[in-house]
Amino acid sequence: MRTIRVLRAGMVEHSVVSREMKRLQKDRIEDLIPDTLIIVEHPEVVTIGPKARRDGVSVDGYPTSETDRGGGITWHGPGQLVVYPIIKWELEEQSVRGIIGLLEDWAIASLESCGVVSYKDSTMQGAWVDGHKICSIGLSFLHWVSRHGMSININTPGTRVEDLEGCGMVKGTHTSLHQLGYSHDKDGRPIDIRRFEDALLETCEGILNRSPQNPESWVPEVLA
């Protein structure tokens, strides 16, 4: 069984982690590091992918940042868990659609671990609960090493996620588990960032075929 390193970053600016992901991706291509998961929260920002830029999508009232991952616009902020898999995918795994499907399955299995039933939508990637999008996925690849990843809305503030629209998504499509009434798991434990992180690590091996190591605290290098 392959192992995967787990880096727990806490709350870090998206731009800082984005830069570090590029460095880690290069290191993984060169086999200088093992497969790695970055687990992080970001201060509020809406990342704008190439499709959204081509379509001229504007996002008023939100801080924004351009990104090179697949997809359109994605909200990041407090109460959302973000997972970035810096993984060198094996030959038999090398399908973009297949890898996205694995991440969807991983999110769905983790939600199930918390007692939440979720599902895929054939028209839009991610994971859905009660007709709302809870999990967004966007990746980029270089030599079949992935960068970027997926975000899961746990307990996001106010209606910041719900009010976002663009790239075919209407207001209210995105929401969080707590907004839908899923504040506790099936054992009565609060569903928060740490609880969902535990669920992801519990289900990682069965879905990604990689055994997670004990999480390490990680502070990305901040360049002047």
The catalytic residue positions are 167
Using alpha carbons only, what angle is made at residue 2 by residues 221 and 140, rounded to the nearest 5 degrees?
A: 50
Contact by Cβ (8 Å): 44, 76? yes
Give burial (CB, 10 Å; 0-12/13-18/19+) of 144.
middle
Name the strand (E) or helix (H) holding 202: helix 193-208
* φ/ψ bin of 158: left (φ > 0), alpha (ψ from -120 to 50), beta (otherwise): left
